[in-house]
Amino acid sequence: MVTAGLIERPTVGFYALPGRIERQDIDWVAFSLRCPRGVIGLQSAALYHNMTDQRPGKLQAFIPRSRGLVVFRLDSVSQTTLDPIVSRNPFHLTLGVALVKRSGIAIRVTSKEKTLVDLFLFSEFKTITASDRRVRVPEETVLEAMARCTRDSSFSFDTFHEIADAFGCAQKVLPFSKASQYIVGAPRGFAAKWPMQ
């Protein structure tokens, strides 16, 4: 039936009527169907939220530890592979997670604020060296995302700092967010709430 074009197969074991899943959504839909507790994040989420124009080579997502280090193709047509992030911290799968609908399928993706925290956590700004295997995000992407978030009226720096605090990096991100707001000329407001120590 797939060969005849009567149905489509977004990923192994899942089928849909032709045209039900938009071509640009196939990777996200396939990921959500294969890993329903997983959360799309980092540069994949940043691109979705218009925080960057840089497209990652792989779909970056947080997956539950029970899934292990999964390397699978999401779709036989796109040949996209997954860059899985498996963390012992359960907040990666619960804190700052939003549901979005693509082609009628609910998909878990990090919020703008959580995405910015994650970009920082998985960049050279947080880790010791560029050769550290946790580095998945270029410094330029973090700075570009920070500048765009500063100009975005729907972005909440209070929520951003609360999430950063939950991940233990609030004091490290504070100079970046203050400098970004100063450079862009955005209104200050969180400085008193989040003093540098």
Contact 47, 112 (CB under 8 A): no
- The helix/strand count (H/E) of the chain reads as 7, 7
Beta-strand pair 8-11/105-110? unpaired
- Distance between CA 116 and CA 45 in Å, rounded? 9
Contact 137, 144 (CB under 8 A): no
**Residue ranges of the domains in the chain?**
22-182
Sign of the dihedral defined by the CA atoms of residues 100, 102, 120, 75, in that order: positive
Question: Structure pTM?
Answer: 0.79
pLDDT under 70: residue ranges of the chain: 1-24, 67-79, 127-134, 184-197
**Tens-digit pLDDT profile for residues 27-81:** 888 888 888 899 999 999 999 999 999 888 889 999 987 754 444 555 555 567 8
Backbone angles phi, psi at 63, to 5 degrees: -125, 155
- CATH 3.30.460 for domain 22-182, yes or no, is yes
* CA distances for 141 relative to 47, 50, 85, 102, angstroms: 10, 12, 18, 25
